[in-house]
């Protein structure tokens, strides 16, 4: 058999990795096999960022660069990609890259162990197309910077000098290696094109060339949806792998021997966001970052949740559908999706069906999936345009609130999703769901019943708060006690009422608009009404 | 004023010119000596050192019960697992099965009694790290479980202590308490804290000839590693060499703890005759190794109408875990910092060191000092709330005086008091009073978001309490090309010690900083080192290196005077040049001439801290050479529906004496502040009722991220304030003191919570002030459930209580 081997680009050269166990992480391969020890292991679970590297992917005529955690992603998922590590920035003249020089100038390293990861996260920011930044004209602002650094922990500096370095790097002269021009050079794109795959990557159990055709390969990356569905049907004991932001930990933390893996990230047909008049359909291999970008374009109130969903590097690897298919009771996407009435598109062999998301979760880690069936896409209802005289009076509210110990990159203690329609001061439609309150992400049916048909008023919400305890019997754990979960889930209803009331829509009823903050937002000082 | 965005507000003008030399290098904000290596991946940590191909990898097998006896341990599945080369238990330790820092109560491997979940029972060496870790999970262990004691109150009730209770008093508190105009009782609790160094514990042991062993270890205390390994192997100390070029963070967590991993690696290396790398996974690191002690305190305080404390009785108790480790000195330091910056005329403190069936707690930046200071700051705050006074006024009313009220409760005079100066300056520069008023107005009209502001002071004693550790050695080698290599007993963990010492040597020899290179801490070069701890690194090693450099400099002067018939005054060193009367030459030329004339170009230096003495039995004397001071103003906002909080602005004024390197000192201050703020807000250690730590990785244990650095920050060094004592260039230690600036974050949140309660009510909020803790406090205040009589039960809300 003459299959194409696993290949990636590193420092302008193609690296061929044969004889690799498919669950080898990129970090292990970099450090143990290639001897590139600049990239560090801090936690081996994608939470500290010491292992951050930059992944380059040829997308049309551009290479898209993004920071990812190398400690939990398996090497084969980098097939066909460019990998940039902290060592890659070395200029022939020995000069430091502006990202590195800015870090030095600003005294942004102390012990230095987290530093390569910070350099890589800042490099991804440095290589971002300028028009993707806010403000659109170029230099990253504080929010761009904080978002870019959300996956990197530093225990020494307090971050101030690192934030300064992110500002300073844009002021330094362009480098020879690692400039925007160099990163997008014809040569780089051409080299990446040479390793573009024409067949499916297959790795047998031992990592050496496949010999037994009947055996299930340890790893396969189908290139078409049909191939994926057929292979899963033939090998139903296989495990579907997407961003590995959870499955990676099964290996690095739980030391599990994984079943044969089917990687969905090479199926081009699954990497799509399709928009129709009333629906957004997100394919199974769409990364979290892209999915939330599409969702927030229609639901800007979900932007804070999107920002707080894990970290930038995790959102660059993990997939939106993976979060849903994983079905954790504390996954952050499900509450608002349940509130919106989203559905999942399930595929099994040649058969496709659609299932409302709330029917998908049967119990703790139990999903309504048949053997060899998988989540192919999620359908998110879009806000309905209001163009009839009657409908003009209807106000739609969609939002999500997340409670955790830390603002960035934390797992929810409680996460609420809310979708309401108000007409003439009455609540005419309501769907509410919470994560962290039950064994599955679950709707608050009794709370909804307390709200539907009622006037939009504090009294209504006060009454509805009492229903939360009828809807849920949460557990207490290291993230929060059961009583706090109940109390805060109820209080979030009041936040919803207060926050939406003060937005001053006359349809909402009597409450008048005010500029007072009703919660602590991502950017605190100005929105909290601090005197300037 | 002073509200510029942090990105453009730089308190320090960086001067990164490596070529600046001479004495003007002192006080310059030169970059960290390894900065260019950090940013390019070229800085080598223990995990990065190239090793022989036959190196084995080790993993620990640990206990799964908090308290019990092992009935049987079946290691057959471990021994027969793929790749396994050796498995060792307590019986395989050739020498002493102990790595305890002070007492012999920390077995490397427990042989029968298990005293915490995560206690090491055996170790595996295998061909790969993965094989070793997988094999270590395969042991079949049968336990007879015993009831565990998990928290402080339970330990006190059971009189379960790792070392005897300690008492410290001055005056007659119990007699004076009833005479005080007002009196208040309350309870305080605070959680522990994981060091969360980004580089986990690691030791590599390489067998050497004749039974010796070389160890690369990430450690703040190479000499203790040497001692524990030599005892474990039954070897003389000179056969155990320990090296450490740098750590990826230490924070106290690599003071006594690295010896465990070094011993395991060394025993396995000796047994197999092969190099062994013992690198623990993050989760194992957090489960196995000690953390900051969590504390509780019950107080009874008498005070006057201004809030000045007349008398205080205090019961403090800490969770030490299953063994003593460094708990004695940690609790002693807590006792000696219950004054913080305040004069306590009549005070009586009882300090319990509780034994629990949890991990043995250890050093963490501040070493008990922060816990003592959290206690007194909360007492002051409770007094202020009771009297309806601005807490800052009550703080001021209690500050140490200059001429009077200036002796600590452990009988050390406070001779260098600058706290009044600092607080006066900071109060104005931070606009504290006006902002406090604005907050009151804001809170009246803001129904959900409430703001709070607090100014808290820091006074921190500098020196090891144990006098013997206040000594250091250094070795300076000058090579014939004029380049200089320095070595000293201190270790580099990011704090910039190597940079500062290099600045000292460059200044003394009048050479450019780039001529001076620091080499790995190596006990074969400089022996009998003290831990790099207690903020003492630059004070001790800077002075020792200065002495060594001065010795060489004097030899060069003597040589030049003889050769050129000059008076010593005519020889001057600056910028890599030497002035010899009317002649000027290169430093390298003079050095080469001196070598040819057979002048030694290598010298050791030694330093011991003067003036200090300390009676361990009575806890009195002058344990500290001097004090470091600082103060912080923090403004915070809370969400009263959820308890979430954010820090909005911080203003800091900190005393680093005459700073050796303002850029490095500012870095220590900012990092220390946020680490302290993290301890008291988002960092919550949580054990379940089986004694299992469930927050053992960054996914569950939340240290601050970049967003948690306040949007507005003004961080400054106190100017024109040389150390009153003769320290290295009159600088002050800056490692630990800034951590306690973070207490202002807790009190800003408490101030916001207080705004929701009745005037005159104390704030029932303990640390860490997680969203849950804040909401609980708010609920208690609003329902009025919590009054003085029930204060004591509030400790149940303490974050770290299982």
**Axis-axis angle for helices B327-335, B369-387 (nearest 10):** 30
| Predicted confidence (pLDDT) per residue in B629-639, tens digit | 999 999 999 99
Test B449 with A516 for CB contact under 8 angstroms: yes
Identify the band that residue B616 occupies on the pLDDT scale cut at 50, 70 and 90: confident
Give the mean pLDDT of A335-356: 98
Please give the DSSP secondary-structure letter assigned to residue A320. Answer: H
Residues 408-467 of A with CB under 8 A from B: 408-411, 413
- Cross-chain CB nearest to B7 (options A44, A142, A531): A142
- The alpha-carbon gap from A475 to the nearest alpha carbon of chain B, in Å, equals 13
Contact flag B713-A160 (C-beta cutoff 8 Å): yes
CA distance B533 to B365: 8
Give per-residue pLDDT as tens, B476-531: 999 999 999 999 999 999 999 999 999 999 999 999 999 999 999 999 999 999 99
Q: Which stretch of A18-32, A153-167, A201-215, B153-167 has the lowest confidence by average pLDDT?
A: A201-215
Grouping H, G, I as helix, E, B as strand and the rest as coil, residue A83 is strand
| pLDDT classification of B798: cutoffs 50, 70, 90 | very low
A216 and B CB contact within 8 Å: no
- Exactly one of B377, B427, B736, B796 is catalytic; which is it? B736
- Three-class SS state of A260: coil
Q: Which residues pair with A273 in a beta bridge?
A: A282
Instruction: Tell me if A529 and B446 make a contact (CB, 8 A cut-off).
Output: yes
Check: CB of residue B269 under 8 Å from CB of residue B206.
yes
Q: Is the pLDDT of residue B262 over 80?
A: yes
| CB distance A229 to A347 below 8 Å | yes
A328 touches chain B (CB under 8 A): no
B493 contacts B195 by C-beta, under 8 angstroms: no
**Secondary-structure percent of chain B, ordered helix, strand, coil, rounded to 5:** 35, 25, 40
Q: Give the residue on B whose Cα is nearest the Cα of A158.
A: B671
Q: Which residues of A touch B130 (CB under 8 A)?
A: 255
Cα–Cα–Cα angle for B408, B463, B426, rounded to 5 degrees: 65
Residue-wise pLDDT for A357-393, tens only, equals 999 999 998 999 999 999 999 999 999 865 555 555 7
Q: Would you say residue B240 has pLDDT above 80?
A: yes
Q: How confident is the model at residue A136 (pLDDT cuts 50, 70, 90)?
A: low
Starting from the edge strand earliest in sequence, which strands make up the sheet with B583-586, in order? B571-574, B577-580, B583-586
Mutate to test the interface with A, among B33, B40, B632 (most CBs of A within 10 A): B40
Average pLDDT over residues B379-393: 98
Helix, coil or strand: residue B129: helix
**CA-to-CA distance for B174 and B176, rounded, in angstroms?**
6
pLDDT band at residue B2, thresholds of 50, 70 and 90? very low
CA angle A336, A337, A338 (to 5 degrees): 90
Residue B206 has pLDDT above 70, yes or no: yes
Query: Edge-to-edge, what's the strand order for the sheet holding B276-279?
Result: B84-88, B120-126, B56-62, B276-279, B202-207, B213-217, B240-244, B521-522
Chain B interface includes A150 (CB < 8 A): yes
Task: Write out pLDDT tens, residues A437-473.
Answer: 999 999 999 999 999 999 999 999 999 999 999 999 9
Structure tokens at A335: 């509450």
Q: Does A142 touch chain B (CB under 8 A)?
A: yes
Give residue A138's pLDDT.
Answer: 62
Residues from chain B contacting residue A139 (CB–CB below 8 Å):
none
When mean pLDDT is compared across A18-22, A259-263, A489-493, the lowest value belongs to A18-22
Output phi, psi for B512, to 5 deg: -65, 150
pLDDT of residue A394: 87
Alpha-helical segments (H) within A299-417 = 303-308, 312-317, 320-326, 333-340
- Side-chain half-sphere exposure of B703, counting CA atoms within 13 A: 27
Q: Looking at the complex, report in whole angstroms how far the Cα of residue A228 sits from the nearest Cα belonging to chain B.
A: 31
Alpha carbon distance A475, A411 (integer Å): 15
Structure tokens at A280: 């957004």
Q: Classify burial at A392, counting beta carbons within 10 Å of its beta carbon; exposed 0-12, middle 13-18, buried 19 or more.
A: exposed
Q: What is the per-residue pLDDT across B55-99, written as a single tens digit (0 to 9) for each? A: 999 999 999 999 999 999 999 999 999 999 999 999 999 999 999
| pTM, two decimal places | 0.95
Select from B35, B438, B638 the Cβ nearest to the Cβ of A531: B438
What dihedral angle (degrees, nearest 10) is formed by the CA atoms of B293, B298, B299, B300?
A: -170
pLDDT score for B793: 33
E strand spans, A382-425: 394-403, 414-423
Q: What angle do CA A430, A435, A441 make, to 5 degrees?
A: 80
Is the Cβ pair A524, B637 closer than 8 Å? yes
Please tell me if residue A215 touches chain B, with a CB cutoff of 8 Å: no
Radius of gyration of chain B (CA): 27
Ordered DSSP codes for B214-264: EEEE--S-HHHHHHHHHHHHT--GGGEEEEES--S--TTTTTSTHHHHHHH
Q: Given CB atoms, is A518 within the 8 Å cutoff of chain B?
A: yes
The label of the residue with tokens 């009575």 reads B618
Q: How far is A127 from chain B (nearest CA, A)?
A: 17
**Burial level of A426, CB count in 10 A (0-12/13-18/19+)?**
middle
Complex confidence, ipTM: 0.95
Please tell me the distance from the alpha carbon of residue B296 to that of residue B189, in angstroms, as a whole number.
4
Q: Which residues pair with A339 in a beta bridge?
A: none
- B449, β-bridge pairs: B639
- Cross-chain CB nearest to B281 (options A44, A90, A403): A44
Does the beta-carbon distance from B775 to A100 stay under 8 Å? no
Closest Cβ opposite residue B775 in set A50, A142, A484: A484
Query: DSSP per residue over B594-652, as a string?
Result: HHHTT---EEEEEEE-SS-EEETTTTEEE--SEEEEEEEEEEEEEETTT--EEEEEEEE
Starting at the earlier edge strand, list the strands of the sheet with B484-488.
Answer: B516-518, B484-488, B471-478, B602-608
User: pLDDT by residue (tens digit) across A402-433?
Assistant: 999 999 999 999 999 999 999 999 999 999 99
User: What band does A233 get if pLDDT is binned at 50, 70 and 90?
Assistant: very high
Cβ-defined contact of B447 to A516 (cutoff 8 Å): yes
pLDDT above 90 as % of chain A:
83
Residue B325 — left, alpha, or beta (φ > 0 → left; ψ -120 to 50 → alpha)?
left
**Nearest 5°: phi and psi at B62?**
-125, 160
Strands B113-114 and A442-443, by their bridges, are unpaired
- Within 371-390 of A, beta carbons closer than 8 Å to B belong to none
Three-state DSSP class for B272? helix
Interface residue A530 vs chain B (CB under 8 A): yes
For A13, phi then psi, to 5°, come to: -130, 150
Q: Which residue of A has its CA nearest to B712?
A: A525
Q: Looking at residues A308-317, what average pLDDT do you find?
A: 97
Mean pLDDT of B791-799: 34
Interacting residues of B402 by C-beta distance below 8 A, sequence separation 6+ = B417, B420
Distance from CA of A122 to the nearest CA of B (A): 11
Per DSSP bridges, beta strands B484-488 and B516-518 are: parallel
Q: Name which of A47, A116, A487 is nearest B775 (Cβ-Cβ).
A: A487
Decide if A53 contacts A26 (C-beta within 8 A).
Answer: yes
Flag if B448 and A40 touch (Cβ within 8 Å). Answer: no
Distance from the A365 Cα atom to the nearest Cα atom in chain B, whole angstroms: 19
User: Torsion-angle region of residue B319: left (phi > 0), alpha (psi -120 to 50) or beta?
Assistant: beta
The answer to whether B482 touches B576, Cβ cutoff 8 Å, is yes
Query: For A144-198, how does the pLDDT look when each residue is reduced to its tens digit (9 = 90+)?
Result: 999 999 999 999 999 999 999 999 999 999 998 999 999 999 999 999 999 999 8
B711–A142 CB contact, under 8 Å: yes
C-alpha of A108 from chain center: 27
Q: Is the pLDDT of residue A214 over 90?
A: no
Chain A residue at shortest CA distance from B250 = A111
Question: What is the rounded distance in angstroms from the CA atom of residue A426 to the CA atom of residue A136?
Answer: 41
pLDDT value at position A522?
A: 56
pLDDT tier at A502, thresholds 50, 70, 90: confident
Instruction: State whether A405 and B709 contact (CB < 8 Å).
Output: no
Hey, are the CB atoms on B247 and A154 less than 8 Å from each other?
A: no
Nearest CA in chain B to A31: B48
Q: Is the pLDDT of residue B716 over 70?
A: yes
Residue B794 has pLDDT above 70, yes or no: no
Distance from C-alpha of A412 to C-alpha of B772, rounded to nearest angstrom: 13
Radius of gyration of chain A (CA): 24
What band does B12 get if pLDDT is binned at 50, 70 and 90?
A: very low
Angle subtended at Cα A121 by Cα A115 and Cα A123, rounded to the nearest 5 degrees: 100
Let me know if B736 is a catalytic residue.
Answer: yes
Q: Could you give the CA distance from residue A179 to residue A198 in angstroms, rounded to a whole number? A: 30
Nearest CA in chain A to B6: A160
Q: Which residues contact B711 (CB under 8 A, 6 or more apart)?
A: A142, A523, A524, A525, B5, B6, B648, B649
Beta bridge partners of B69: B113, B144
Q: pLDDT-derived band of residue A524, with 50, 70 and 90 as boundaries?
A: very low
Exposed / middle / buried, residue B566 (Cβ in 10 Å: 0-12, 13-18, 19+): middle
Contact assignment for B449 to A519 by CB distance below 8 Å: yes
Q: Which residue of A has its CA nearest to B45?
A: A113
Q: Give the residue from chain A lying closest to B12, CA to CA.
A: A106
Identify from B11, B53, B705 which residue to disrupt to test chain A contact, counting A C-beta atoms within 10 A and taking the largest count: B705
Query: How far apart are the CA of B226 and the nearest CA of chain A, in angstroms?
Result: 23
pLDDT at A140: 82
Q: Is A523 on the interface with B (CB under 8 A)?
A: yes
- In A115-134, the residues whose Cβ lies within 8 Å of chain B are 115-116, 119
Closest CA to B660 of B475, B419, B496: B496
Query: Dihedral sign, CA of A127, A130, A132, A135?
Result: positive
- Is the bond preceding A135 in cis, omega lying within 30 degrees of 0? yes
So what's the pLDDT on residue A531? 47
Place of tokens 């290291």: A478
Q: A43 to chain B: nearest residue by CA?
A: B282
Q: 276-295 in A: which are within 8 Å (CB) of B?
A: none
Higher pLDDT, A233 or A532: A233
Q: Which residue of B283, B674, B700 is in closest CB contact with A478?
A: B700
Mean pLDDT calculated for residue range B151-171: 97
Chain mean pLDDT for chain A: 91
On chain B, the residues whose CB falls within 8 A of the CB of A492 are 641-642
**Cβ of B770 and A498 within 8 Å?**
no
Cβ–Cβ of A110/B48 closer than 8 Å? no
CA angle B775, A142, B454 (to 5 degrees): 40
Q: Phi-psi bin for B510: left (phi > 0), alpha (psi -120 to 50), beta?
A: left
Determine how many CB atoms are found less than 10 A away from the CB of residue B75.
Answer: 20
* CB neighbour list of residue B404: distance below 8 Å, 6 or more residues apart: none
As a whole number, mean pLDDT of residues A213-233 equals 91
CB contact set of A297 (below 8 Å; sequence gap of 6+): none
Does A45 contact chain B (CB < 8 Å)?
A: yes
């Amino acid at each position: 058999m003459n299959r194409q081997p696993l290949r990636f680009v590193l420092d302008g050269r193609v690296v061929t990795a044969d004889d690799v166990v498919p669950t080898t992480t990129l970090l292990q391969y970099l450090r143990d096999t290639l001897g590139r020890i600049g990239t560090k292991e801090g936690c081996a679970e994608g939470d500290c960022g010491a292992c951050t590297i930059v992944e380059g992917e040829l997308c049309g005529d551009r290479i898209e660069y993004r920071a990812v955690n190398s400690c939990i992603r398996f090497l084969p998922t980098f097939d066909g990609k460019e990998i940039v590590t902290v060592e890659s920035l070395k200029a022939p003249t020995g000069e430091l890259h502006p990202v590195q020089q800015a870090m030095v100038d600003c005294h942004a390293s102390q012990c230095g162990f987290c530093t390569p990861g910070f350099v890589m996260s800042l490099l991804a920011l440095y290589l971002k197309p300028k028009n993707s930044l806010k403000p659109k004209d170029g230099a990253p602002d504080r929010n761009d910077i904080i978002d870019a650094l959300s996956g990197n922990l530093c225990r020494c500096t307090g971050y101030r000098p690192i934030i300064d370095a992110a500002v300073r790097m844009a002021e330094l002269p362009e480098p020879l290696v690692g400039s925007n021009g160099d990163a997008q050079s014809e040569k780089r794109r051409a080299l990446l094109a040479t390793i573009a795959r024409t067949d499916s990557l297959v790795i047998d159990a031992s990592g050496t060339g496949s010999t037994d055709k009947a055996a299930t390969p340890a790893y396969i990356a189908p290139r078409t949806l049909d191939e994926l569905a057929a292979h899963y049907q033939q090998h139903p004991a296989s495990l579907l792998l997407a961003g590995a932001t959870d499955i990676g930990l099964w290996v690095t933390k739980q030391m599990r021997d994984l079943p044969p893996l089917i990687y969905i990230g090479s199926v081009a047909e699954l990497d799509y966001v399709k928009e129709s008049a009333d629906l957004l359909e997100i394919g199974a291999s769409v990364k979290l970052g892209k999915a939330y970008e599409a969702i927030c374009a229609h639901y800007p109130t979900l932007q804070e949740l999107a920002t707080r969903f894990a970290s930038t590097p995790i959102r660059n690897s993990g997939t939106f559908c993976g979060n849903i298919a994983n079905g954790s009771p504390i996954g952050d996407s499900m509450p608002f999706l349940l509130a919106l009435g989203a559905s999942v598109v399930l595929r099994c062999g040649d058969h496709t069906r659609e299932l409302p998301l709330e029917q998908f979760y049967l119990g703790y880690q139990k999903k309504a999936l048949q053997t060899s069936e998988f989540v192919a896409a999620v359908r998110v209802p879009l806000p309905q345009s209001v163009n009839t005289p009657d409908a003009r009076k209807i106000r739609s509210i969609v939002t999500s609130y997340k409670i955790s110990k830390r603002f960035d990159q934390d797992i929810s203690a409680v996460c609420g999703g809310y979708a309401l329609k108000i007409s003439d001061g009455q609540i005419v439609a309501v769907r509410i769901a919470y994560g962290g309150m039950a064994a599955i992400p679950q709707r608050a049916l009794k709370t909804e019943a307390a709200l539907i048909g009622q006037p939009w008023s504090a009294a209504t919400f006060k009454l509805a708060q009492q229903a939360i305890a009828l809807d849920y019997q949460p557990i207490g754990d290291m993230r929060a006690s059961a009583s706090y979960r109940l109390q805060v889930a109820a209080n979030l209803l009041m936040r919803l009422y207060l926050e939406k009331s003060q937005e001053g829509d006359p349809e909402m009823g009597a409450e008048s608009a005010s500029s007072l903050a009703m919660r602590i937002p991502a950017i605190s000082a100005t929105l909290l009404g601090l005197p300037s | 004023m002073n509200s510029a965005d942090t990105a453009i507000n730089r308190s320090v003008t960086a001067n990164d010119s490596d070529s600046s030399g001479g004495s003007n290098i002192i006080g310059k904000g030169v970059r960290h000596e390894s900065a260019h290596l950090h940013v390019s991946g070229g800085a080598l940590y223990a995990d990065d050192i190239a090793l022989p191909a036959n190196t084995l990898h080790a993993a620990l097998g640990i206990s799964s019960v908090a308290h019990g006896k092992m009935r049987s341990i079946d290691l057959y599945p471990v021994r027969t697992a793929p790749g396994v080369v050796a498995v060792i238990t307590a019986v395989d330790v050739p020498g002493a099965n102990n790595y305890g820092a002070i007492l012999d109560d920390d077995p490397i491997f427990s042989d029968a009694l298990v005293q915490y979940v995560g206690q090491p029972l055996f170790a595996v060496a295998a061909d790969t790290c993965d094989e070793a870790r997988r094999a270590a999970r395969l042991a079949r262990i049968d336990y007879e479980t015993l009831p565990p004691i998990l928290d402080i109150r339970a330990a006190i009730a059971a009189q379960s202590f790792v070392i005897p209770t300690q008492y410290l008093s001055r005056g007659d508190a119990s007699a004076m308490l009833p005479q005080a105009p007002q009196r208040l009782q309350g309870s305080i609790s605070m959680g522990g804290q994981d060091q969360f160094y980004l580089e986990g514990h690691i030791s590599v042991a390489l067998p050497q000839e004749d039974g010796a062993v070389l160890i690369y270890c990430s450690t703040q205390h190479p000499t203790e590693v040497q001692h524990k390994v030599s005892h474990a192997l039954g070897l003389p100390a000179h056969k155990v060499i320990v090296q450490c070029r740098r750590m990826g963070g230490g924070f106290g967590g690599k003071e006594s703890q690295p010896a465990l991993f070094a011993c395991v690696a060394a025993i396995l290396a000796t047994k197999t005759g092969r190099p062994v790398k013992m690198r623990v996974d993050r989760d194992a690191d957090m489960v196995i190794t000690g953390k900051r002690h969590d504390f509780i305190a019950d107080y009874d305080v008498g005070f006057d109408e201004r809030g000045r404390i007349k008398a205080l009785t205090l019961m403090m108790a800490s969770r030490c875990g299953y063994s003593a480790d460094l708990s004695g000195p940690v609790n002693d330091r807590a006792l000696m910092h219950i004054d913080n910056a305040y004069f306590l005329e009549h005070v009586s403190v009882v300090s319990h060191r509780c034994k629990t069936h949890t991990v043995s707690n250890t050093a963490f930046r501040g070493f008990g000092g922060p816990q003592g200071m959290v206690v007194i700051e909360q007492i002051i705050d409770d007094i202020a709330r009771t009297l309806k006074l601005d807490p800052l006024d009550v703080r001021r009313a209690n500050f140490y005086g200059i001429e009077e009220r200036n002796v600590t409760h452990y009988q050390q005079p406070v001779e260098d008091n600058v706290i009044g100066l600092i607080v006066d300056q900071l109060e104005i520069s931070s606009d504290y009073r006006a902002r406090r008023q604005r907050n009151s107005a804001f809170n009246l009209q803001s129904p959900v978001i409430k703001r709070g502001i607090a100014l808290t002071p820091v006074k921190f004693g500098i020196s090891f309490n144990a006098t013997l550790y206040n000594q250091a050695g250094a070795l300076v080698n000058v090579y014939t090309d004029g380049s200089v290599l320095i070595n000293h007993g201190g270790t580099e963990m990011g704090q910039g010690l190597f940079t500062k010492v290099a600045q000292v040597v460059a200044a003394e020899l009048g050479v450019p900083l780039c001529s001076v290179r620091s080499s790995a801490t190596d006990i074969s070069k400089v022996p009998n080192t003290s831990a790099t701890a207690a903020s003492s690194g630059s004070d001790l090693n800077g002075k020792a290196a200065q002495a060594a450099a001065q010795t060489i400099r004097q030899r060069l002067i003597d040589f030049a005077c003889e050769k050129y018939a000059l008076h010593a005054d005519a020889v001057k060193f600056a910028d890599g040049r030497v002035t010899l009367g009317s002649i000027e030459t290169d430093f390298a030329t003079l050095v080469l001439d001196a070598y040819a004339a057979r002048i030694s170009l290598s010298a050791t230096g030694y330093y011991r801290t003067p003036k200090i003495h300390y009676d361990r039995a009575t806890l009195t004397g002058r344990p500290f050479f001097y004090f470091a001071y600082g103060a912080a103003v923090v403004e915070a906002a809370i969400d009263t529906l959820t308890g979430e909080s954010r820090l909005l602005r911080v203003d800091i004024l900190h005393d680093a004496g005459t700073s050796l390197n303002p850029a490095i000192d500012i870095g220590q201050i900012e990092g220390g502040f946020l680490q302290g703020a993290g301890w008291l807000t988002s960092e919550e250690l949580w054990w379940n009722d089986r004694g299992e730590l469930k927050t053992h990785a960054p996914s569950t244990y939340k240290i601050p991220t970049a967003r948690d650095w306040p949007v507005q920050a003004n961080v400054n060094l106190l100017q024109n304030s040389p150390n009153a004592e003769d320290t290295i260039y009159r600088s002050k230690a800056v490692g630990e003191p800034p951590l306690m600036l973070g207490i202002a974050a807790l009190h800003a949140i408490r101030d916001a919570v207080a705004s929701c309660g009745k005037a005159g009510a104390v704030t029932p909020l303990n640390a860490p002030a997680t969203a849950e803790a804040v909401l609980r406090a708010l609920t208690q205040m609003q329902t009025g459930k919590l009054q003085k009589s029930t204060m004591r039960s509030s400790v149940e809300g303490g974050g770290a209580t299982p």
